[in-house]
Structures are given as C-alpha cells and as structure tokens.
Chains A and B, each alone.
Chain A
Amino acid sequence: MPSDTSALHLVLSADPVLMAIVGLSLTVSLAAVVLATLIGLPVGAALALTRFPGREAAIVTLNALMGLPPVVVGLAVYLLLSRSGPLGSWGLLFTPQAMVIAQTILVAPIIAALARQTVEDLWLEYRDELAALDVGPRRRLATLIWDARFSLVTALLAGFGRAAAEVGAIIIVGGNIEGFTRTMTTAIALETSKGDLPLALGLGIVLIAIVIAVNALAWTARRAGERLAG
C-alpha cells in the first residue's frame, strides 16, 4: 500500500489494494462464521437439550474455549498445515483457507456456548407446552432454534466480531503475504511495525466502521423480523 497516502484518501478513492484487503477480511471472517455456526449451533443446542454424565463439565469447558488465545490456535493450525506437518500435503498453509480454518476454530466455541445458553433458556420456558403438545425431539429442536433466532443472531454477531478483530491466528497461518493473505488487521499490524502509525490508525478506523456497519445491518434486519413475527 502506498505509504504516503492517508487512510481517508485511500477510502475515498476506493484504492484497489485497500478494497482487496477489506474484501479478504470480510470473506475470511464471514466464511468462518458460517462454518462455525454449522458446527457450533448443533453442538450448543444438543448440549442444551440432552442430559448425560459430565454435562456440567462439558458446559464449563465450552465456556472456557470462548477464550482460546488466537496466537495459540494460529500456532497449532500452522503446525498442522506446515509442509512438514501431518496435513502438509493439502498445501493450505499461507492461504486464505488456512485463515478461515483458524478463525472457525476460534469462533465455533463462542457460537456453541451462546447457543447453548439461549436454547436452554428458551427450553425452560417452552418445556411444558411442548411436552403437552406431544412434540418430538426433532421438531422441538427446530422450534427452539427458530423461536430463539434473534438471540442466536446476536451470538453470530459476537462470533463475527471476534473473527474480524483478531490478528494473532491469521497472521501466523496466513503469513500476511501482500496481495494474498493480507487483511485489515494484519495490515494494521504491519504498518504499525513499519512505523506508519497514522496509516495504521486510519485503517483501524476503517475496520471499526465496517464492523459497525455489519452490526447495524443485522440490527435493521432484526427489527424488520421482529415487526413481522412478534
């Protein structure tokens, strides 16, 4: 990125390098959230609705996993995907796919833990009525997830926030390669270490603005949905 241009100028002129970086950030984080939801939502819901020995320990573990340090996850995934590692032949190291994998690992516990809490709370409310209506386990799961959808979307947004903000994991597995695996956060880290603090700060503001925009979009969708459903 031309380092003698302010971040505002880059935004206003839709600088192609900046656009590519923003695009990659959003693609990686959104893909990670989608995958993390596919994994985390069923796990969270299952944990909410089933009873088995060690359930409480599982819940505590899941909640703790929300705080997985990104650098540690990045390191672990790096060692897995390294050419001298077990999955090296997949050739995924230093690619956006590796970044998606690392972020999915970070985000899935968040979605699972929040989904568990949300579904469990709603189930306590609905439990008697669903039993009285003789609702089977499949239907019950679908009903709880559908009726709790707004709270669940909040969980997804929490996951997206985590993914969009982190740099520790993706810089290790992605390598911050210019034009290929450079995202907003890794670009900010780079410009900071190069000493171009105004540019780094400007990029940071752009990133925050994007995250706010995503949240505003989700909020608007939620209000529209609420008005329709009650």
Chain B
Amino acid sequence: MQTRRTLIALAIAAMAAIPAASAQDKSIVVSSTTSTQDSGLFGHILPLFKAKTGITVKVLAQGTGQALDTGRRGDADVVFVHAKSAEEKFLSEGQGVKRYPVMYNDFVLVGPKSDPAGVKGGKDIVAALKAIKSKSAPFISRGDRSGTHIAELNLWKAAGIDIEKGLSVKDLGPWYKAIGQGMGAALNTASASNSYVLTDRGTWLSFKNRGDLIVAVEGDKRLFNQYGVMLVNPDKHPNVKRDLGQAFIDWLISPEGQKAIADYKINGEQLFYPNAKDASA
C-alpha cells in the first residue's frame, strides 16, 4: 500500500531527525546525584568544559546508590558522587579505576521557625539530633540510599542512635519519617509538615517553597560533604569512553576546573569548596 510506505518513511525520518548518541559523538554520560544537579553547579561548569574540549557531558542525576549502580552496569562513563565509603566499596569491586577528591560542600539542618527541639543557632549537630529524638520533634529523612541519606545515618550513629535498627524493629516512633525521595521532595515534605530535615546547602539556597523553615544548625565540621569522581572501569565495561571520561576528570581536578567550581555562587554565596589537592579527602 502506498500509504503504508509513506508512513514507514515518516517514522524512520522522525527517528532519524532526533539526534542520536553514537560512539562517534564527543559525549560522555556522567552519573551524579540529584542534589549536585539541583544546585546548578553543572549548569555553570559544563559549558566551560565543553568550550575547552568540545566534549558534551550528559548528566544523569540520581541518588548516590543509583548513580553507583548505573556505573556498575556500565551505563555511565564517569561517576561523581559524595559518599566516600560507598565510593571505596565501588573501587574494591573493581568497578572504578581510581578515586579523585574534587570538592566539598556542607550540609545544614533546617527546621521550623518555632523550633520544637530547641536547637536553633547551634553549632553541634550531634547534640541537635539527640535533642530532636528526645523531644520527638518531627524529622524527615530522604531514606533513598543517597549520599545525603548515608551522611544523615552516620550523624545519627555519632549521636548514639541506630536509626536503621529502630526502623526495622519499629520502635522508633512516628516523629521520624523516611520518604524514599530526593532532596527537593524531602524539603517540600518538611516545609508542609513543619519538620526538621538535613539538606545540602546548595539545594537549600535554591529551594523556593520554604514555608516556615529556617537554618537551625550549620558549621559543624561533621557536616562537611566530600565529593569524589571515578572513571568506570573500561576493563569491566568495554563500552566506557575511557579517554573522554578521563579528560573530564583531569579537567575537574585541574586548576582551571577547580577555579570554575569555586566561582559558582548562589546569591553571592559560594557553595562548593575545591580540594583536589587534599589527598586525605
């Protein structure tokens, strides 16, 4: 049928008109976290990288756990997250080539203006968390295996509280709610329910739906959040674009890349502090 042939041609044209990603394209897939994406950092530094090298970076924004799993499947070329223990596990599995520290940002504890746990203005996150638990003040957790979630659990542990055990034996109490979603969703939920929530500063600065939430605790060294970048191991996943991926990593830790990171500001405030030179990070 003539009509059928025309339709097939149309469909193929439609598919072809959409630019495809092929091995010849100078592009890489970087799996990173939603909080990094939402902070707007990539919007600032990636155009600079492309201008210098002509390489297009496609950012897949997920939770840290998901981002690393994407690397494990070989579906990303580079992994750029902020959960050192999870990253080292990734390396020990042979999934990554080498971990490079890149930058750090910090978390802040935000909470309702009314401050039911009485922690406002404090500089001790562990003390604040203890207070929140003892007063059963409402608290929202991301609960999604993200870097932020892992950092949160570690802080509770430092306060002597085993959240995961409490959840599994169901003796934690309804004040703690794990929603299994990203930072923006967690902030929305906290705003709507006047709860405390641990968030990275970048997402907080760009968040518009604050309601009655304010920063309650900040500046504690334990709230610092280190970022590391790794090339997915091409020996395990032959489709990984080794050279292009490494070029991205090299740029991130180069003086030029580090300056680009430091230059990114929201409302005049710097969000990320480059520290590629810090071998212990």
Contacts and interface: CB of A to CB of B under 8 A. Distances in A.
A and B in contact, CB less than 8 Å: yes
Interface of A: 3, 24, 27-28, 30-31, 34-35, 37-38, 82-85, 88-89, 91-97, 100, 142, 175-180, 192-197
A195 B60 contact: no
A94 B75 contact: yes
A38 B8 contact: yes
Contacts of A180: 21, 58
A95 B74 contact: no
A89 B239 CA distance: 8
A97 B15 contact: yes
Given A95-B20, A195-B191, 12 more contacts: A28-B18, A34-B7, A83-B75, A91-B23, A95-B21, A96-B19, A97-B15, A97-B20, A177-B58, A179-B58, A192-B184, A195-B188
> How many of chain B's residues touch chain A, expressed as a range?
35 or more
A164 B15 CA distance: 16
B97 interface: no
29 contacts: A3-B206, A3-B208, A27-B14, A31-B11, A31-B14, A31-B15, A31-B18, A34-B11, A37-B7, A82-B73, A82-B75, A83-B73, A83-B237, A88-B239, A91-B21, A91-B239, A94-B58, A97-B18, A97-B20, A142-B1, A176-B61, A177-B29, A178-B42, A180-B21, A180-B58, A192-B184, A195-B185, A195-B207, A196-B184
Which of A27, A97, A195 has the most chain B CB within a 10 Å cutoff?
Answer: A195
B168 interface: no
Contacts of A83: 73-75, 237, 239
A177 B59 contact: yes
B21 to A, nearest CB: 5
Interface in B3-39: 4, 7-8, 10-11, 14-15, 17-23, 29, 34, 37-38
B145 to A, nearest CB: 16
B182 interface: yes
A34 B237 contact: no
Contacts of B23: 91
B11 A193 contact: no
Given A82-B75, A83-B75, A193-B184, A30 B61 contact: no
